Structure 1
Amino acid sequence: MSREREVVEACPTELFIGGKWVATERTFPVEDPATGTTLCDVADASPADGKAALDAAVAAQADWAATPPRERGEILRRAYELMTERADDLALLMTLEMGKPVAESKGEIAYAADFFRWFAEEAVRIDGGYQIAPNGTSRFLVMRQPVGPCLLITPWNFPTAMGARKIGPAVAAGCTMVIKPAAQTPLSMLKLAELLTEAGLPAGVLNVVTTQDSGGVMEPLIRDGRARKLSFTGSTAVGRKLLEQASDQVLRTSMELGGNAPLLVFADADLDKAVDGTMLAKMRNGGEACTAANRIYVQSSVMDAFAAKLTSRMAALKVGRGTEDGVDVGPLIDGTQRDKVADLVADAIAQGARPLTGGSVAEGNGYFYRPTVLADVPESARLQKEEIFGPVAPLTPFETEDDAVRMANDTEFGLVSYVFTKDLGRALRISERLEAGMIGLNQGIVSNPAAPFGGVKHSGLGREGGTVGIDEYLEVKYVAVNVD
């Protein structure tokens, strides 16, 4: 038996409810996007299964909230250690269902595990306050308590990290959970649930429902009234619908939604470092990331030099199945995403953009698209407004600092922006003026478990990670104390 088959067969494929693996009448296939073949079939939850998962989370909430913070932290610490020990198998499983090269998958496993390590340390730092009332007649006590059962919905592009980024603070805060992973990549979450159970997480604290009918299963839970928190990572369009549903029960919400990140390269930048940073910002996860640099604006005086260097790097990338040696870029997640990328590129070319490399679907099986650089992309092109989610780098020249800021901010999104310049004054001015929740200044990666991740405008609500990440899972209670 091949190692790939061993890893898949060792992964659970049933629902995880109340600490037990639960079979369903219906199943659905999990596809390898590099070949189009089926890896395995997993449980397809019904609305009744979703309700059972919420029942389990509600039943476990009181005891879990009363568990000492140190114990909650130790469970997360053990989970971190187990993920680190088993990184090779976890990474291979992710590559098989999602497509990214194994090296990138190992990077994601390390990143995901760090959320467990970070929040293991935050669990014992949940604080409160004591204050004398201004008039001196009473005392104020402030405590922070778990918000309660949480509904978590994660995307397919970072199937382990996005789960860990939500599960970590929920466990640390004392919240129980029902989590629904994306239908394209359920295996990574099922394996993570198994690992957390091994680390000592009690039954009912984490419940996993896999389904092709996300709306049919999750909307009743959102409207149920017993869950008190909804955290979602995904598209802005779906986020809007979930916010409408969450308003019915006035749920606490965290929304990490779409992005359309601008990347600005000024004439005084170190072009080699700017190209390095652009490759990271653009090609991490093959461009299938909400943080991906989708609109690359380069000061006109250095455009030709920058374009030549970037094109050389992009053209040299090896495209192929993520399990193969030397592969830099894997497949897109499915045919729908590949066709969307092709349509966006075709629209830009029709409006005058010039392909410097790539610009077409790759031949062969699977959902591959060639790494692409487009020059002279007009502001009217659809990919200036729509999230690409693919290996396409559109280049647009600018003349002045004001022009760069105007074009960068001309979007409904505001997740992250990237700036490359040696001028400290300009760096600070631009960082203040850009409408984004995060800025990558002379670097192409901003994600870090110890930093607050999130955006403004239509890119979302709230922050994940950092010292504020646990706040999303805590309610503040004020007690007025009469001391007379």
Structure 2
Amino acid sequence: MGLMRHVVATRSFLFRQAEMSRPLSLGIRNMSLIRNKAFINGAWKSAASGEEFAVINPADGNVIGNVPNMNEADTHEAIVAASNSFQQWQDTTAKERSHYLKKWFDLLEKNKEELSEIITAESGKPLKEAAGEVAYGNSFIEWFAEEARRVHGEVIASPVKSKEMIFIKRPIGVTALITPWNFPIAMITRKAGAALAAGCTCVVKPAEDTPLTALALAALAQDSGIPAGVFNVVTSARENAPQVGKSLCESPLVAGISFTGSTDVGKLLYKMCSKGVKRLSLELGGNAPFIVFKSADVGKAVQGAIASKFRNCGQTCVSANRFFVQDEVFDEFVAKFKEEMKSQLILGMGSDGVSTLGPLINDAQVHKVDNIVQDAVKKGARVLVGGKTASSIGDRFFEPTLIVDVDPRMLCYNEEIFGPIAVLIKFKTEEEALRLANNTKRGLAGYFYSNDIAQIWRVAKKLEVGMAGINEGIISTAEAAFGGIKESGLGREGSHYGMEEYTYIKYLCFGNL
């Protein structure tokens, strides 16, 4: 594609930037999966109001397409469709549901390049990374196609001779799946795969920034033969999102809500769901600590840090947010981290095939990240790498940044950054590291590097998170139980535990035998 790299100086550090190139169709070569309608009851629908909103490529600000701006009435139509379809879908056998999901998985795999290009176009993540997300997202459909046939009950020993006792599991009903923009395919398949496998139907509300991936999933679900009304997608712009969310939470036809997003929005949904005492699964914000102990292999810790921090430009809920490095290895870690940032991180258009770091998702996120950096500088922190927007590439690009001399007064010490900003904090003892790491209301993921086996066991148990990466920076997989503690959420996704969010236990007592 005639790409070249050039070097841009940023303070005392050089990072690489890919030259922008304008690929055809905004990087989407095959437009066959692009849909400009929502998907309700097996049909492609406009909003009843006729309103639409634009989907923007965050890398260059160009409009990719327009989709319906649906409201409460449109959402109710989707809920009713899902409720009607549930009456038949719940009675399908586990083998039949497995068969549908396998066919869906096969089509997802067949169209993985097209899905990757859509993700890159609407989320900005580099094409290679988008392809990784597609593989990850598809794996949930494959996994739950297999798990559908492993929803087991129990026969319980009765206390009396005239009775027999059995527990069976039943699908909870219609589920509402509200998903974020940072993983536009994986956050849907992780929820929908489990819901459909359990015998539930669903209404998906994708993020307004990335609805095209959700609609592409719907197109392939339709092609796989999944019955009408089982999988529905309602799209809406930001201004209509509150009424759509309220409808999903308060409708008596909806049995459960699964939400991935910010803690503040999760708390609001939690409150709204209390009216109907609905089943609730929340995967909320994180503030992940990344601890490097003196016994660690510093080189491996640096590689784990790069992978954990800068994936999707730092816009993941499990991104390392605060780096705690023991004083004996602090200088070594900083030096190696800077060097790896220099060699690995290439800012540029996600579709260019060269970049490893794309744009932030929108202007609000750019403003937030910039404000966090400027706040740290004003309060005495030092920026060793980056520290400002990369306006030579585009309005939503931010240089990968490394900050030291950080203290608790700073926003970067306390807030989830959700951007390419690495914050390094020095510590002396294991007890101090754990106290600092656990001093947060969040508890999603955490990471630490150590070669002291006794220390590994101590820290693994005492680190207040739902998931811990031990000498590992990438922990997500379909087989793992994904979820947090404290204000990072409720429930688990993936693994066999993911099915439990969509089933309830029914006790059957047979008497007079």
CA contact under 8 A between 2:28 and 2:117: conserved in structure 1?
A: no
CA contact under 8 A between 2:389 and 2:395: conserved in structure 1?
A: no
- Taking structure 2 as the reference length, the TM-score comes to 0.93
**1:414 equivalent in alignment to 2:443:** yes
Q: Distance in 2 between matches of 1:281 and 1:10?
A: 31
Q: How does 1:19-418 map to 2 (within 5 A)?
A: 19-24=42-47, 25-212=50-237, 213-316=240-343, 317-364=345-392, 365-418=394-447
The residue type paired with residue 434 of structure 1 is: L
**1:13 equivalent in alignment to 2:42:** no
SS in 1 for 2:426: strand
Q: Taking every aligned residue pair, what percent have the same amino acid on both sides?
A: 42
CA contact under 8 A between 2:28 and 2:121: conserved in structure 1?
A: no
Give the superposition deviation at 1:74.
1.4
Residues 384 and 147 of structure 1, relative CA distance in 2, 3 Å threshold = same
CA contact under 8 A between 2:33 and 2:219: conserved in structure 1?
A: no
Deviations 1:341-360 (A, max 9, x none): 01111111222211110011
CA contact under 8 A between 1:79 and 1:113: conserved in structure 2?
A: no
- The answer to which of 139-148 and 214-223 deviates more is 214-223
The residue type paired with residue 350 of structure 1 is: K
In structure 2, what is the equivalent of residue 2 of structure 1? 24
CA contact under 8 A between 1:33 and 1:367: conserved in structure 2?
A: yes
Q: Distance in 1 between matches of 2:128 and 2:70?
A: 32
CA contact under 8 A between 1:314 and 1:373: conserved in structure 2?
A: no
Give the superposition deviation at 1:379.
2.3
Q: Distance in 2 between matches of 1:446 and 1:134?
A: 44
Give the superposition deviation at 1:192.
0.4
Q: Which of structure 1's runs of 4+ aligned residues deviate more than 2 A?
A: 1-10, 134-137
Q: Distance in 2 between matches of 1:134 and 1:368?
A: 67
CA contact under 8 A between 1:7 and 1:93: conserved in structure 2?
A: no
In structure 2, what is the equivalent of residue 462 of structure 1? 491
- The answer to which of 65-74 and 243-252 deviates more is 65-74
Deviations 1:360-380 (A, max 9, x none): 111132400000011121122
Give the superposition deviation at 1:139.
1.4
Q: Distance in 2 between matches of 1:388 and 1:261?
A: 10
CA contact under 8 A between 1:132 and 1:138: conserved in structure 2?
A: no
CA contact under 8 A between 1:8 and 1:39: conserved in structure 2?
A: no
Q: Distance in 2 between matches of 1:138 and 1:325?
A: 66
CA contact under 8 A between 2:321 and 2:416: conserved in structure 1?
A: yes
SS in 2 for 1:262: strand
Aligned equivalent of 1:447, options 463, 470, 476: 476
Deviations 1:443-479 (A, max 9, x none): 0011110110000000000000001110100010001
Deviations 1:166-201 (A, max 9, x none): 000011001011110000000000000111111111
- Taking structure 1 as the reference length, the TM-score comes to 0.98
What stretches of structure 2 of length at least 5 have no aligned partner? 1-22
The residue type paired with residue 388 of structure 2 is: S
Q: Distance in 2 between matches of 1:230 and 1:255?
A: 8
In structure 2, what is the equivalent of residue 424 of structure 1? 453
- The answer to which of 185-194 and 8-17 deviates more is 8-17
Q: Distance in 2 between matches of 1:483 and 1:329?
A: 68
CA contact under 8 A between 1:151 and 1:229: conserved in structure 2?
A: yes
CA contact under 8 A between 1:139 and 1:483: conserved in structure 2?
A: no
Residues 369 and 106 of structure 1, relative CA distance in 2, 3 Å threshold = same
SS in 2 for 1:66: coil
* Aligned pairs, number: 484
The residue type paired with residue 337 of structure 2 is: L
Q: Distance in 2 between matches of 1:250 and 1:332?
A: 37
CA contact under 8 A between 2:286 and 2:443: conserved in structure 1?
A: yes
The residue type paired with residue 394 of structure 1 is: V
CA contact under 8 A between 1:8 and 1:40: conserved in structure 2?
A: no
Give the superposition deviation at 1:411.
0.5
Q: Distance in 1 between matches of 2:272 and 2:31?
A: 35
Give the superposition deviation at 1:8.
4.5
CA contact under 8 A between 2:33 and 2:114: conserved in structure 1?
A: no
Residues 422 and 5 of structure 1, relative CA distance in 2, 3 Å threshold = closer
Deviations 1:102-160 (A, max 9, x none): 00000000000100010000001111111222344421111100000001100000000
The residue type paired with residue 292 of structure 2 is: V
CA contact under 8 A between 1:261 and 1:417: conserved in structure 2?
A: yes
**1:473 equivalent in alignment to 2:494:** no
Deviations 1:288-342 (A, max 9, x none): 0000000000001110110011111223311011011320100000010011001
- The answer to which of 53-62 and 69-78 deviates more is 69-78
Give the superposition deviation at 1:224.
1.6
CA contact under 8 A between 2:350 and 2:358: conserved in structure 1?
A: yes
The residue type paired with residue 78 of structure 2 is: A
What stretches of structure 1 of length at least 5 have no aligned partner? none
Q: Distance in 2 between matches of 1:240 and 1:218?
A: 13
The residue type paired with residue 145 of structure 2 is: A
The residue type paired with residue 56 of structure 1 is: A
The residue type paired with residue 131 of structure 2 is: K
In structure 1, what is the equivalent of residue 19 of structure 2? none
Give the superposition deviation at 1:17.
0.5
Deviations 1:423-449 (A, max 9, x none): 111001001001000000000011110
SS in 2 for 1:435: coil
